Structures are given as structure tokens and as C-alpha cells.
Structure 1
Amino acid sequence: MARSSTLRNLAWLWLAATIAVLVIGFRQAIFLAPMEETMGNLQRIFYYHLAHAILSLVFPYINVAASLAYLYWRHRDPLKALSADALAVASAEVTVLYAGLCLVTGMLWGKPAWGIWWTWDARLTTELILWLLYVSYLLLRRFSPTGQTGVLSAVLAVFAAVDVPIVFMSIHWWRTQHPAPVFGPDGGGIDPGMVPAVLWNLAGWAMWGLLLIGFRFALERRRQLAEQEAALVALEASLETPQ
């Protein structure tokens, strides 16, 4: 009971800190960051698009790490394996959310900037494939045969994670319409006044994503424990001597 109360208090503190960081990020992005010369206020979508684009390539590694842990522990320690599986499904759902928001904010930006909602550009296409892979992952978990869900989804998670470096490197490997990176040795750079908005929003949405993963993990563990309890009750009933 004490441990549960402590975790609940930590969750509330994390939520409060997350909202505070997101509010600061919003203020930086909408009111304080300088206006871009060519795109004007439209460019402010960038602070949200970039954060979700980066994090949509980070959360899949939580998913694949948890999936590999599940495969390792499923015979050695089934209880640890169940926890790893719960983390895998939680991170997959958040990956779908963040990759979807990345695509949506990209289209909202692309329509005024390029004149089209969508183009089969290498960066956009590989990101769409990433989103579809994790949607497939969730569908597989829902409709796979009973008893095979964890193994099949873990194998798909390993396959899906291969697309992450392809998305990241797509603008280096192919000529794309997508803008070049703004950070790193090959980056085009941004106005220094825009950097705080980038960093605050990246931190805020990372904290929000981790909060969602933690919340979804707790729900999944509760579901697993309920299934175990129901199975135990059914087993005990089947072993009772008929009167």
C-alpha cells in the first residue's frame, strides 16, 4: 500500500512538471521565438513537428528493448516477461501516437509551404511505413492466437525497429523534398533565438510521452494480473471434487 501511494504521488509530481514544461514550451514557441522570414508564423508548427518526429524515433527503441527482454525472460522468469510485454505494448501505442502527430503536423506545414498535403518523399514515406508497422503491431496483439501474442509481436517489434535508422538516414541517402536537418554537422542551423523553443518542447513532449507509457504500462499490468487471477479461479474450480 505504501509503495502504491508513493508511485501515485510521483506520478502526480511528474504530471505537474510535464504540464509546466509544456506551458513554457508553448510560450517559447508561440510568443518568444522570432518569426521566420519566409514562412512567417506558419514556421511555429516546426517546434511541435520536430519534437514528435524525434520522439517517434526514440520510443520504438523502448518497444524493441522490452520485446527482446520478453523473449529472454519468457521461459526463465515469466513474471518479468509479463512486465516487459506490458512495457512493449505501452511504448508501441505511444509510438503510433507520436508518429501519427509527426505526419499530421508535417502535412499541416507542407500544404502552405509546398502547396500539397502529401508527397511520396523518402523521409515522409519511411515515417509512414514506421507508423504502419506499429499499427500492424497493435493489430497483431489484438487478433493473434491466444498464447502466441507476446512472441509474434516481439518478433514484429524487432523487424519494425529496423525502419528507425532508415527514417533517420533517409535525407542523407536520398534526395528529398523534406528540409535538411537543422542540427548536427550536416544541419543548416536555426536562429539562436529559436533554440529554447525547440529544447523546451522536445523536453515537454518527451516527458508527456513517458507519462503516457507509464500510465498505459500500469493499465496493462492490471489487465494481466486480472487475467492471471481469473485463470487461477478457473483452475481451482476445475480441481474441486464434484459433490
Structure 2
Amino acid sequence: MAKKWKMPKWFYQLGSPRWFYDISDRLLPWFAIPAVLLLVIGAVWGLAFAPADYQQGNSFRIIYVHVPSAVLAQSAYMLMAVAGAINLIWKMKVADMVAKSCAPIGATLAVLALATGAIWGKPTWGAWWVWDARLTSMLILLFLYIGVYVLYSAIENEVKAGQAGAVLALVGLVNIPIIKYSVEWWNTLHQPSTFKVTEKPAMPPEMYLPLILMVLGFYCFFAVALMLRTRAEVLRRERRSGWVQQLVEAS
């Protein structure tokens, strides 16, 4: 008889608000310090020392903010959808809190990606905005983030709000491959992806290495922001529990 597969212990521990609060307290410095170092080094290297592009000149340097924010906006959305699915299936409160916390952070990243893309597009395309497939799908991503956040804010019952937000997030997942492959599926103005796993970057190392540092720095910063927002949500929802009361008294 086949042995029944069980979920690992840490997966169920994630359902405990107190466990998440304690473990995130230990993890925060491990992400905060690399975030600062990577972002500072990447920004200084990319903005001050990387060579200018032979076609776009110094205007290309906005890539060091635009690409990380665009990539992370998509990753954050996928995390939000996965957390929402975990909440729907296993009824884990922490997963719901993570999904809720992802929405405003992801929306901010989407706004940053769209804004920097517009700034980059003006000297490149001669316009702040064009109804390009990549830009339009990124705008839809922003609306999806806003929609999830509005559902959490508008529905008083937190269980129903989490379920509604999770369903919208899961439906919106169809937009992620559209964003990624839009430049290949349609004739667009937007340039292809800067990095591909199967191909060597077209940029020289002195240009793409600081970009890699910025992407890693953005991910570390996102982890810090997500843990802080989720910790605040944990304290709000668990404010009547004994362990939170002890934290309040100890402070």
C-alpha cells in the first residue's frame, strides 16, 4: 500500500500567527542588510559608473529601477495568488494576511514600473504612453492589485474578504504570461526581455551586473516590506490573544 504523502511540518507552522511573528523577527535583519547593500552598490554602479548606451545614451540608466520594479511586481502578484490559494484550500490565516499585505506593495511596484517606463519611453518613443501590449498588460496588473486591495477594504467580514481577494488574484494570474510574452506574441514597441535564461545577455557585464544587484536588492527589500506589513496585520488580528497582550505589556 502506498504511503500517504504529508505536507512538511514548516508548512503547517506557517498557519500559526505567533510562529510567523517570531520567525520573521529573526529573518528581518538577514534581508534588510543585504537589501541596503545591494541597492546602494547597484544604484551607484549603474547610475554613476556603468557606460552609457551607444543608442540611448544616459537615458537607459532608468533600467536599473524600471526592470527590477516590473519583474518584482509580477513576482509579488504570483505570491499573492499562491497565498490566496493556500488560504482558500487550507484556511490558513497567515496566508490570508500575506496575500492582503502583498496588494499595496505590489501596486506600488506596478506604479513605479509604469512611471519609470513612461519616463524611459518619452526620449525613446517620443511619447509618455502608448497602448503597447506590454504597457497595457502592466496597467491591468495595477488594476488587479487595486481590485484585490479594495475587496479586502470593502468587505467587513475578513474571511469573506480573503476569499474574494483570493479568487480575483487567481483569475488575474492569466495576465502574468501575457505580460511576459506580449513582446513575442504581438508586434510591440517594447523591447524584449533584458535577460533570458537560455541566452547570454546582450549588454556588457559592466552594464548588466549592476542590474542583477538591483534586482536582488529589490527582492530583499520586498521581503522586508512584506514581513513588516504582515507582522502589523498579525498584531491587528491577534490583538486579543494572550501572546500579543504580553508583547504590549513588555513594550
For this structure pair, what is the TM-score category when the shorter chain's length is used for normalisation?
Answer: 0.7 to 0.9
Q: Where does structure 2 lack aligned partners over 5 or more consecutive residues?
A: 1-17, 242-251
Q: 2:131 aligns to what? A: 120
8 Å CA contact 1:181, 1:187 repeated in 2: no
Q: 1:89-128, aligned counterparts within 5 Å? A: 89-128=100-139
- 2:40 paired residue among 11, 23, 28: 23
Across the aligned residues of Structure 1 and Structure 2, the Cα RMSD in angstroms comes to 2.1
The answer to whether the 8 Å contact 1:180/1:188 transfers is: no
Between the aligned residues of both structures, percent identity stands at 30
1:40 to 45, 49, 57: 57
Question: How much has 1:96 moved relative to structure 2?
Answer: 0.8
- Given the alignment, which residue of 175, 184, 205 partners 1:192? 205
Largest Rg, 1 or 2:
1
Answer yes or no: is the 8 Å Cα contact 1:22–1:200 preserved in 2. yes
Question: In the alignment, is residue 216 of structure 1 matched against residue 229 of structure 2?
Answer: yes
SS in 2 for 1:57: helix
Alignment match, 1:78: none
Q: Counterpart of 1:175 in 2: which secondary structure?
A: coil
Which portions of structure 1, spanning 4 or more consecutive aligned residues, are displaced by more than 6 angstroms? 3-6
2:180 pairs with 1:163: no
8 Å contact 1:29–1:197 — kept in the other structure? yes
> 1:130: which partner in 2?
141
Q: Tell me which of 149, 160, 173 is aligned to 2:185.
A: 173
**Structure 1 residue 55, shift from structure 2 partner:** 1.0
Structure 1 Cα separation of the partners of residues 237 and 181 of structure 2: 38
Q: Secondary structure at the match of 1:95?
A: helix
Shift of residue 129, structure 1, vs aligned partner: 0.3
Structure 1 residues 36-115: aligned runs within 5 Å: 36-74=53-91, 81-115=92-126
Cα deviations across residues 8-46 of structure 1 (Å, max 9, x unaligned)?
A: 454234322211111111111112211111221111001
Residues 105 and 226 in structure 2, CA contact (< 8 A), matched pair in contact too: yes
Q: TM-score, normalised by structure 2?
A: 0.82
Taking a change above 3 Å as real, the CA distance of residues 49 and 4 of structure 1, as seen in their structure-2 partners, is: closer
Tell me the CA shift for residue 140 of structure 1.
1.0
TM-score of the aligned structures, taking structure 1 as reference length: 0.84
**CA offset at residue 92 of structure 1?**
2.0
Could you tell me which residue of structure 2 aligns to residue 238 of structure 1? Answer: none
CA displacement at 1:195 relative to structure 2: 1.5
Return the alpha-carbon distance in structure 2 between the equivalents of residues 215 and 50 of structure 1: 24
- Judged with a 3 Å threshold, the aligned counterparts in structure 2 of structure 1 residues 51 and 112 are, in CA distance, closer, same or farther, namely same
Q: Name the amino acid aligned to 1:166.
A: I
Contact 1:108/1:117 (<8 A) preserved: yes
Change in 2 beyond 3 A, CA 1:163/1:7: closer
Relative to 1, partners in 2 of residues 1:66 and 1:110: Cα closer, same or farther, differing over 3 Å?
Answer: same
State the partner residue of 1:239.
none
Offset at residue 187 of structure 1 (A): 8.2
Q: How many residues align?
A: 221
In the alignment, the residues of structure 1 paired with residue 200 and residue 143 of structure 2 have an alpha-carbon distance, to the nearest angstrom, of 28
Counterparts of 1:94 and 1:4 in 2: how far apart (Å)? Answer: 19
Partner SS state of residue 58, structure 1? helix
